[in-house]
Amino acid sequence: MIPVSSYKLPACPAGRQATSQNARLKSLGFLFMLASCVLRPAAFAYAKEITIIYTGQTQAMIYPCNCPKEPDGGIARRATLIKQLKNDNPESLLLDSGGFFEGGLMYEYAQNAPLDMQRSGINLKAMELMGYDALGIGENEFNFGRQFLEEHISKTNLPFLSCNISAASQGKEPNSFKSYLIKEISGIRVGITGVTGLSAMPKSGGLNFTEPKVAVRKAVEELKKNKADIIILLSNLGEDGELRLIKEIEGIDIVIVGYKTTKTEPVTKIDSTLILRPTWQGRRLDRINLAIENKKIIDYKVEQARLHDGIADDQEMLSILPSCFSDANCKKEGMIGTCKDPGSPSGGCQFSKPVEIKLLIIAPKVCITCNTDNTINYLKSRFPGLIVSYVYHPDLKADKLINDFDIKSLPIFLLDKDIEKEKEFDNFKENLIIKGNFYMLKPQVGGIAHYLNRENKKGKIDLFMSLFDESAGELLDNIKEFNPEIHFLTAEQKENEFNAANGNLEIEEYLRAVCVQKYYPDSFFGYIRCRSRHKNSSWWEDCLDSSLDTNKVKTCAKDEGKSLLRENIRLNKELGIMFGPTYLMDNQEIFSSRHPPKKEEFKKIFLRE
């Protein structure tokens, strides 16, 4: 897919007044963001309150990420914040759901086995110093084999939980793993268990893996026998596996996932179970405050704290950290950093002045959603000596470059050939195309916001979306008054064979939808709004007026529906759009959003108010 510009949505305001604890944190430079909650302050006033601080999929990221925007994270900042939170609330629990070892050969920060193993060991030592109450076991923990994991576990006093792993010969837990444990917090008995995905078996060195559902059911039953009031599952099964567990096993109050997920919501509630998704690579610190009454969760509040550079590094963590493991760990504004003797106590960062590289950006003069900041920041992270200037279309200089270089879309990023002098050039040149005296950043890297070779159709809005997105109903409600043309996110792999993220269920939905659009166009938008909210129901007929012929829709879906769907997604294929929601405005300007914009925001964009 060709990336498109991303419209930045405003953050949602907090739902209630900050507590004195949060006020103290803010005074130290800590910024908590309310992520999701059911806000009933009275519940917290009269019920018992439990705080759970949690991480997962930290991937041995012991330093802040090498990100052009929000270079957050690192164990030294995390330790500072955890100490402050525990000082304010000594009764809190600190948990990790798994994925605390380095992510493997294909991981973006992988170097070589010795250095990756060294970082993983340091990360585990840091978690012990931070005082984690329990750690789940995921597939990552076996990336360096069973012996490496068990040797490092034996050096710590941390509890490692997996209810479905046992030693091959005796059928017993390995000495290093526990099935579950119980912690008493504020008079509430909190039971904690973990489950490991079967994908870890080939790396586990002969350990036996029980089928997850059987093992979790047994662990939950034993926790209940031991009078656990609240049960937490540290899970590495994946979303489908966890949803099955929740439906089939009663008594799981909280699931904390230990893998990278495409879900952006930090918390989801399924029936009475909360699914918590920790921030990947430990870039934020997550916590949930629970209101407990009669040994039941009656309310909750999830918060995330950015581990930004305003948080002081914990000195105890710094004492176990080498100066650097790679050049990415050596950062100084406007300088190029080199890591000498990576991972060695005697090593360190060396800095030199970067080569000055001119970057000329051709951008549209009028484009309400165009944003070049992210690409500039990305380039500056690779080439700190960047000097940026702009020319705008239409004007003589911009249009001459557009014609000379046969440019089809904007913005365009043209780098001076002095970039060849940078040591990063060889690693980066595959992203560039030679154009005259410039290197042009490929559009699939820099992103597309405006098409030059498309007819301007003022007021036309095209929306590329999936009805199976959690926020699809909200999106359709907010955009309805702008009369968008809907394009479903599916692709034709072979003739008359379509593919979508949710398989045949989603394809069948779209085949019916395009038939409704053809034969009952006045009912189309209402139908898809209804189905977006009831997509898992097979009673699709209930979303159509009873006076309409549903048999006609069924017959169409089995026959001409495929040709109708092919036409529906023709523009997707032409523009290379595979993800959404994505919006094409006036047939020229294109952008995407992570969450549905509000009606007022759509008005500002589409009506240019």
DSSP state for residue 544 in the 8-state scheme: S
pLDDT of amino acid 536:
82
CA pair distance 127, 109, nearest whole angstrom: 20
Task: Give the residue ranges of the chain where pLDDT is below 50.
Answer: 1-2, 6-42, 169
pLDDT of amino acid 33:
37
CA pair distance 255, 269, nearest whole angstrom: 10
Hey, what are 500's tokens?
Answer: 């979508």
pLDDT of amino acid 44:
54
Beta bridge partners of 188: 185
Side-chain half-sphere of 170: how many Cα atoms within 13 Å? 6
Which of 220, 294, 331 is closest to 48 using CA atoms?
Answer: 294
Report how far apart, in Å, the C-alpha atoms of 328 and of each of 94, 366, 382, 426, 459 are.
Answer: 29, 37, 10, 16, 46
Q: At residue 526, what is the residue type?
A: G
pLDDT of amino acid 343:
93
**Cβ-based neighbours of 244, under 8 Å, separated by 6 or more:** 213
Which of 166, 92, 163, 136 is closest to 257 using CA atoms?
Answer: 136
CB 39 within 8 A of CB 16: yes
Report how far apart, in Å, the C-alpha atoms of 399 and of each of 245, 403, 441, 451, 453 are.
Answer: 59, 6, 18, 14, 13
56-89 core/surface letters (b: 16 or more CB in 10 A; e: else) = bbbbbbbbbbbebeebbbbbbbbbbbbebbbeeb
Residue holding tokens 């950043």? 441
For the chain, how are helix, strand and coil distributed in percent, rounded to 5? Answer: 35, 25, 40
pLDDT of amino acid 276:
96
CB atoms within 10 A of CB 128: 13
Can you say how many angstroms the Cα of residue 67 is from the centroid of all Cα atoms in its chain?
14
| Range list of β-strands (E), 510-588 | 582-585
H or E element that contains 539: none
Beta bridge partners of 351: 337
pLDDT of amino acid 426:
92
pLDDT of amino acid 5:
53
Write down all domains in the chain, each with its CATH number in brackets.
31-320 (3.60.21.10), 354-451 (3.40.30), 461-606 (3.40.30.10)
pLDDT of amino acid 539:
93
Q: pTM for this structure?
A: 0.66
CB 392 within 8 A of CB 363: yes
pLDDT of amino acid 11:
34
